[in-house]
């Protein structure tokens, strides 16, 4: 993903509310499964890491992206954004 594409996705993600919250149990298989299911209806997902989670939000973002086969767009504070285009007919068209 180029920096121009990342900036485009950051602009789209600015208005999103977090869909998931990751708590003190950190990344669980149930969390990954639920996030993977959201990618069936959304290409861009914002996730919040709660204060009671002791793990680093950047590490959580990378692990979640790896396990859901998505890409980390950004990590700001305790929130991060993941992007995974639809296989057929993606709705978000990235600039080249």
Given a cut of 90, whether residue 26 has pLDDT beyond it is no
Q: How confident is the model at residue 93 (pLDDT cuts 50, 70, 90)?
A: confident
- Position 91 scores a pLDDT of 87
List, in order of start, the domains of the chain with CATH numbers: 3-83 (3.30.110.60)
Given a cut of 90, whether residue 34 has pLDDT beyond it is yes
Share of the chain above pLDDT 70, in %: 100
pLDDT tens by residue, 46-86: 999 999 999 999 999 999 999 999 999 999 999 999 999 98
Integer Cα distance of 2 and 66 in angstroms: 18
CA-to-CA separations, 73 to 24, 25, 26, 30, 52, in angstroms, rounded? 23, 23, 20, 22, 24
Contact between 50 and 21 (Cβ < 8 Å): yes
């Amino acid at each position: 993903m180029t920096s121009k594409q990342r900036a485009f996705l950051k602009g789209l993600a600015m208005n999103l509310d977090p869909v998931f919250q990751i708590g003190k149990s950190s990344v669980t298989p149930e969390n990954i499964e639920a996030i993977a299911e959201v990618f069936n209806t959304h290409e861009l997902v914002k996730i919040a890491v709660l204060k009671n989670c002791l793990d680093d939000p950047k590490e959580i973002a990378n692990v979640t992206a790896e396990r859901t086969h998505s890409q980390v767009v950004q990590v700001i504070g305790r929130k991060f954004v993941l992007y995974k285009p639809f296989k057929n007919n993606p709705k978000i068209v990235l600039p080249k």
